């Protein structure tokens, strides 16, 4: 624009100011939001008794129709805080269900900053893109995997499909363009692999029936000889092996497949080895569980969820690859609206998503604020707490452990009181009773056809007393139910 041209433009009037302004000052809104967050953090420091239920006022609010007119922003924030306080928050120290996330405070702040600046990570976004690359390097170093590239994802499901898309393209070059064209390909994993492996097979045109869910040994680890035989059988039948998926921490029991032996099987056959460590691979860095992950450095790709055992708020998945060109070969696109001005740093060429939030920032901040050692110590503490849980359950006659010593931090067990014949039904009722009071939160699961409680310890806020409380509360509720049974 020519100098002076600006002067001829009319001066903005109040009506030309952006319309979507808050009815409070920014400082007021930020102060209110900060107060809500700090109250929540205080509440997460200690277990709270019970779980508040939705009251009439909230119920009415949640039934209201689309508001045509705005109302007080501070009032709306207040309502949001009440809604969240009445919802199940995984950061609470007695949330033992699923594989929870702990809402690490520096990560929460990272999310606020990331969404405020809302950078465009599809293309080179300057320093933010450099932070993504640095966070990939840091997390790779943390777990001991020699990644040359990686991408931040919404979680294990997308990381697995991303890695397996790369594996498919390497096993069957051109399949991303032509489809499988009648060429069958297969995936190999343990029976206990996460269903996202099957989901990936469905989405990639491999087909769920070509996921070979293979037997496990007594430690619930996939048997490498079975994997080798399954691959050899498929090759003989004209089915192309696409990838072996080693689960490094199964969702159900925390079993870690023997990565080194699977790497041997894959190396002999030229098959891709993917390690689904969404839940467990963060423990590869710990003194007490690190040896379970031997051979990790030999994998072709690794999935890790920083929103699981690196304690960050959701969503912060990472997929790491040994060779950047594998991701590029499976995902790169030439589009007129995506200028390839920096081929080396073109994240859109190695990610499944196009628009993406700046997830890496919170992981980068966590390493900066706490350092790798403190994060490793917090994981180690959870591992020790899982062993404590195992021992407390073992010491109580009316409980039965379904697996041996926990390899990681899942401890499935069930209540087996004398005189109760429907033990599965009893344990489902027990979980429902615990959830009803909300003093402690566990989810039910089925291990080898048997219903059980499946607590998982992955929260840096959980104390040894919280672990002991889980056992006491479950035992008391189980006994009360058994006594009341007809």
Q: Is 124 exposed, middle or buried (0-12, 13-18, 19+ CB in 10 A)?
A: middle
Q: Does 471 bind ligand PLP (CB under 6 A)?
A: no
CB atoms within 10 A of CB 383: 22
For the bound state, the minimum distance from the C-beta of residue 157 to ligand PLP, rounded and expressed in Å, comes to 3
Site for ligand PLP in 82-111 (CB under 6 A): 99
Tokens 């206990």 correspond to what residue? 192
Among 51, 102, 247, 462, binds ligand PLP (CB under 6 A): 247
Q: How many binding residues for ligand PLP (CB under 6 A)? A: 13
Q: Does 313 bind ligand PLP (CB under 6 A)?
A: no
Report the residue from 317, 357, 407, 478 that binds ligand PLP according to the rule CB under 6 A.
Answer: 317
Stretch near ligand PLP under the rule CB under 6 A, chosen from 174-182, 271-279, 356-364, 396-404: 271-279
| Contact map string, positions 106 to 145, toward ligand PLP, x by CB under 6 A | ----------------------------------------
Stretch touching ligand PLP by CB under 6 A, among 4-12, 274-282, 339-347, 398-406:
274-282
Per DSSP, the residues of 40-55 read HHHHHHS--SS-PPP-
| Whole-number Å distance between alpha carbons of 415 and 399 | 5
Strand 211-214 relative to strand 240-247, pairing: unpaired
CB of 454 to ligand PLP, least distance (A): 12
**CB 452 within 8 Å of CB 413:** yes
Q: At its nearest, how many Å lie between ligand PLP and the CB of residue 98?
A: 7
Among 162, 190, 196, 271, binds ligand PLP (CB under 6 A): 196
| CA distances from residue 182 to 169, 206, 441 in whole angstroms, order as listed | 15, 10, 48
Contacts of 130 (CB under 8 A, 6+ apart): none
For position 192 contacting ligand PLP by CB under 6 A, the verdict is no
- Of 455 and 478, which has the nearer Cβ to ligand PLP? 455
Of 172 and 242, which CB lies nearer to ligand PLP in the complex structure? 242
DSSP letter for each residue of 335-358: BTTB--S-GGG-GGGT-S-SS---
Give yes or no for a contact between 284 and 144, defined as CB atoms under 8 angstroms apart: yes
Q: Which of residues 148-177 bind ligand PLP (CB under 6 A)?
A: 155-157
- The answer to whether 194 contacts ligand PLP (rule: CB under 6 A) is yes
Token pair listed for 480:
């009360």
In the complex, which residues of this chain contact ligand PLP (CB under 6 A)?
A: 99, 155-157, 194, 196, 247, 251, 276, 278-279, 305, 317
């Amino acid at each position: 624009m020519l100098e002076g041209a600006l002067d001829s433009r009319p001066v903005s009037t109040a009506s030309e100011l952006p319309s979507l302004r808050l009815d409070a000052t920014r400082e007021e809104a930020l102060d209110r939001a900060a107060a809500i967050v700090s109250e929540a953090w205080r509440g997460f420091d200690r277990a709270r008794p019970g779980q508040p239920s939705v009251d009439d006022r909230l119920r009415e609010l949640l039934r209201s129709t689309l508001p045509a007119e705005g109302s007080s922003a501070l009032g709306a924030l207040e309502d949001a805080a009440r809604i969240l306080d009445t919802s199940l928050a995984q950061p609470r120290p007695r949330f033992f269900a699923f594989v929870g996330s702990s809402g690490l405070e520096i990560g929460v702040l990272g999310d606020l900053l990331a969404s405020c600046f809302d950078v465009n990570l599809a293309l080179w976004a300057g320093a933010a893109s450099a932070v993504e690359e640095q966070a990939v390097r840091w997390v790779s170093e943390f777990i001991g995997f020699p990644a040359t590239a990686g991408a931040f994802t919404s979680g294990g499901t997308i990381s697995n499909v991303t890695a397996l898309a790369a594996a498919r393209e390497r096993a069957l070059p051109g399949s991303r363009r032509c489809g499988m064209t009648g060429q069958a390909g297969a995936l190999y994993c343990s029976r206990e692999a996460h269903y996202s492996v099957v989901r990936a097979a469905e989405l990639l045109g491999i087909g769920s029936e070509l996921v070979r869910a293979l037997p496990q040994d007594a430690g619930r680890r996939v048997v490498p000889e079975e994997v080798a035989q399954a691959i050899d059988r498929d090759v003989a039948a004209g089915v192309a092996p696409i990838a072996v998926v080693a689960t490094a921490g199964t969702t159900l029991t925390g079993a870690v497949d023997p990565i080194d032996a699977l790497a041997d099987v894959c190396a002999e056959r030229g098959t891709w080895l993917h390690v689904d460590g969404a839940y467990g691979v963060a423990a590869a860095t710990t003194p007490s569980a690190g040896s379970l992950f031997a051979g990790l450095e030999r994998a072709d790709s690794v999935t890790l969820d920083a929103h699981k055992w690196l304690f960050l708020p959701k969503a912060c998945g990472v997929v790491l690859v040994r060779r950047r060109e594998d991701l590029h070969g499976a995902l790169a696109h030439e589009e007129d609206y995506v200028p390839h001005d920096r081929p080396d740093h073109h994240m859109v060429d190695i990610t499944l998503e196009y628009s993406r939030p700046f997830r890496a920032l919170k992981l980068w901040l966590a390493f900066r604020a706490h350092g790798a050692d403190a994060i490793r110590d917090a994981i180690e503490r959870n591992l020790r707490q899982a062993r404590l849980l195992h021992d407390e359950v073992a010491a109580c006659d009316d409980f039965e452990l379904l697996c041996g010593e926990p390899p990681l931090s899942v401890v499935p067990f069930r209540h087996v009181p004398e005189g109760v014949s429907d033990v599965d039904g009893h344990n489902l009722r027990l979980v429902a009773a615990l959830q009803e009071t909300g003093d402690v939160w566990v989810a039910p699961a089925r291990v080898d056809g048997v219903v059980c409680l499946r607590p998982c310890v992955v929260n840096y806020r959980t104390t040894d007393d919280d672990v002991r409380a889980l056992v006491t509360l479950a035992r008391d509720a189980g006994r009360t139910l058994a006594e009341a049974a007809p």
